[in-house]
Structure 1
């Protein structure tokens, strides 16, 4: 069982409060444990909530050893672990290490006074000398902002292909999530059309999947419009402009808008963190991960602003160690 620590609500001052219970948040907690610091994770969903909401059959680009935290072995039966194996690994660590974590509790506000942070949540208030924000980016879709985007048939999250069998599907985007959705729904009998703003499938698509989608497009099994953009979504059709600037309207049952996701920039700004440039990159020191607010740190994907492909589990595991070194100094 996870320790409830209800007395934290009585404003005992923690050494560290961690916002977000993903892989990097867990790694920060393990570093705090190792250094005998009092800490608590506040997580709005379940443990590694973003991974839980990934497509059911998703496989990582990274191999298992590159997803490991705290030198705890990640045993996988396949070269590239899948969603379920990752859930078992990270949730298993939370159980085995008895990590102090509050689940299904959302942080609303972080303020600072006299070197102590007050963290307000949906269930109470906490105090801490240091705060680590490790909230990822999976909660806020990157909306297209076009008419009809709020229709029930438009989905910004994709889990599995079965609901789309024998349906006319439009997949928006050309990244890993879009390609996976297109291939999986096609193989379950959907009539798939991809609307892609760029001139080709994204170079970041997993190398063992990219030839598959390109071959399906080349043979005509999946229709793809490159250099094109949706302008309106209607109840039974989708309207888009193609690369020649011509307006097209096609029949449609569902739109899978795999347009990416964004960090909660309002939460970062309200916490006092400066955001810079077009990508709204949060200001932090790369050697300590400390933001412009003293003793307020960032860890993981949230560090990249709108550039959500900059950081991932494999290359942000080091953030926990950098932060704890800074705190201990």
Structure 2
């Protein structure tokens, strides 16, 4: 029986694995996609908010060309750590059931079954998008994930949202030759937008190279046009693609299925903030999954410390 099974092969799952290894625990990391699957699915042009040293785990230096690393550098860093430390990781294997037993947990995946004493859930929040729930959202032209701006060159693009991801998408597609329209639910660009990016998008809007509808909502999508509800009334515009940067959330149905409790409107799971243990003995949370719908609460830089808290508690009990 393993001491620990870690669900999620992202930076926090890897950090938990390093701590478990250092403590002499037997453990396994299970990841439903590729290693650091969420980072892999970031846009290819992504640059992190944080500086490289704030993304480091287990004091392993993260050397980059610039102060703030990009997607490729992050993938390289976490992959090298995993390989250099021979962390036991099973990729493209999804956990389907976590069942509490008398002496731990039985964890079933799409490929195998494991009996373990402790489970750490480090699944993040990037795999479930927040839907618009409007007619036409199922059309292939509607994207909730963004990869490369070149794909949208010379196309009429509607970007929904006003936070960092939406503003980055709007600016990047605009600079690759797309005709960009922003649809913003609030009265202005989001307050959390990076301070060096905010003036850029505001200037593009003021000069008219990016069209923006504030206090507005996308109401319907069709093959070659969309409907927008604005303060001046409904507007229909020609459109080739909709990039709905409306955010992501943890897989709440999965967490509930595994027995976790969520007691408030933000669906924040209940756990002990000193040990990260949930109400289920031996079942822990790590990383951004702890924040529920408040996905701005936890990041790599402030949740990497969860690994030490969890492993220390497991060792103390052992």
Normalising by the residue count of structure 2, what TM-score does the alignment of the two structures yield?
0.98
Distance 1:196 1:243 in 2: 12
Deviation at 1:165, TM superposition (A): 0.7
Per-residue Cα deviation, 1:67-122 (whole angstroms, up to 9, x for no partner): 00000000010121100000000011001011110000000010011032000000
Per-residue Cα deviation, 1:229-255 (whole angstroms, up to 9, x for no partner): 0111111111011134x1111110000
Deviation at 1:311, TM superposition (A): 0.5
Distance 1:69 1:326 in 2: 19
**1:147-162 correspondence runs (5 A):** 147-162=135-150
Distance 2:276 2:190 in 1: 30
Equivalent residue, structure 1, for 2:315: 328
1:185 to 173, 188, 194: 173
Q: Is 2:185–2:216's contact at 8 Å kept on the other side of the alignment?
A: yes
Deviation at 1:46, TM superposition (A): 1.0
| 2:297 is equivalent to residue 301 of structure 1 | no
Distance 2:118 2:187 in 1: 46
Deviation at 1:256, TM superposition (A): 0.3
1:79 to 50, 63, 67: 67
Equivalent residue, structure 2, for 1:9: none
Per-residue Cα deviation, 1:183-204 (whole angstroms, up to 9, x for no partner): 0110111000000101111111
Distance 1:326 1:101 in 2: 22
Deviation at 1:325, TM superposition (A): 1.2
SS across alignment from 1:65: helix
Equivalent residue, structure 1, for 2:3: 15
Distance 1:218 1:73 in 2: 43
Per-residue Cα deviation, 1:46-75 (whole angstroms, up to 9, x for no partner): 111100000001000000000000000000
Equivalent residue, structure 2, for 1:108: 96
SS across alignment from 2:158: strand
Distance 1:276 1:77 in 2: 44
2:247 to 260, 265, 278: 260
Distance 2:16 2:248 in 1: 23
| 2:271 is equivalent to residue 271 of structure 1 | no
Distance 2:281 2:231 in 1: 49
Equivalent residue, structure 2, for 1:207: 195
Equivalent residue, structure 2, for 1:51: 39
| 2:237 is equivalent to residue 237 of structure 1 | no
SS across alignment from 1:31: helix
Equivalent residue, structure 2, for 1:8: none
| 2:117 is equivalent to residue 129 of structure 1 | yes
| 2:238 is equivalent to residue 251 of structure 1 | yes
| 2:283 is equivalent to residue 288 of structure 1 | no
Divergent runs of 4+, >2 A = none
SS across alignment from 1:281: coil
Distance 2:103 2:292 in 1: 26
Q: Is 2:20–2:27's contact at 8 Å kept on the other side of the alignment?
A: yes
Distance 2:284 2:18 in 1: 16
SS across alignment from 1:85: helix
Equivalent residue, structure 2, for 1:67: 55
